[in-house]
A = this chain, B = another copy of it.
């Protein structure tokens, strides 16, 4: 007796499982068949919803971006007001705290970002654009704090990503947010 799902719910369920599977094995390392089994379907059934493996990957990334849009926009308002150091630290801490609640997502992006270094990877363009945007947003955030905001943005992003990966490597054995707050306090003048 299987529960019937409508198109939207089924797609959403597949995408959620795909986040975990791709995060574990990478885009190249996972198979449609394996993902389909975890969704209690056949591979053909799954491909009915997403035409190809590549389309599935891009759908995962789009899906996540749509979900995160509001939260990100709230932290980085378009009118970009000048910020005090305390405000900046609070924004960064909130970002990390958000990620600390979504380890599968942190893992997905860590995996794909490295895999997508290869120019022929289907997510290569996506990550080039995404990282450029992240650097720009961070540089704007730091505009009032230093005369080389691009440089600081690079270092802060690197430290943040590095610490999140370390947190996964150590099986989340330390307090990510507390440790990040310490790093940020040292890194930002």
Contact = CB atoms under 8 A, between A and B. Distances in A.
Interface of A: 24-26, 28-29, 107, 110-111, 113-115, 117-118, 127-128, 131, 151, 154-155, 157-163, 165-166, 168-170, 174, 179, 182-183, 186-187, 189
Given A114-B110, A168-B117, A155 B183 contact: yes
A179 B165 contact: no
Contact of A158 (B26, B114, B115, B163): B163
Q: Which 8 pairs show the lowest CB-CB distances between chains A and B?
A: A162-B162, A158-B162, A28-B29, A158-B163, A159-B159, A158-B166, A161-B162, A155-B183
A186 B159 CA distance: 12
27 contacts: A24-B117, A24-B118, A25-B118, A26-B26, A26-B115, A28-B28, A29-B115, A110-B114, A111-B115, A111-B117, A113-B165, A113-B169, A114-B165, A117-B169, A155-B159, A155-B182, A155-B186, A158-B162, A158-B165, A158-B166, A159-B183, A161-B165, A161-B166, A162-B162, A162-B163, A162-B165, A186-B186
User: How many chain copies does the complex carry?
Assistant: 2
B151 A182 contact: yes
Contacts of A160: 162
Contacts of A151: 179, 182
A165 B109 CA distance: 13
Contacts of A110: 114
Contact of A155 (B114, B131, B163, B168): B163
A165 to B, nearest CB: 7
From A28, A158, A179, A189, residue with most partner B Cβ within 10 Å? A158
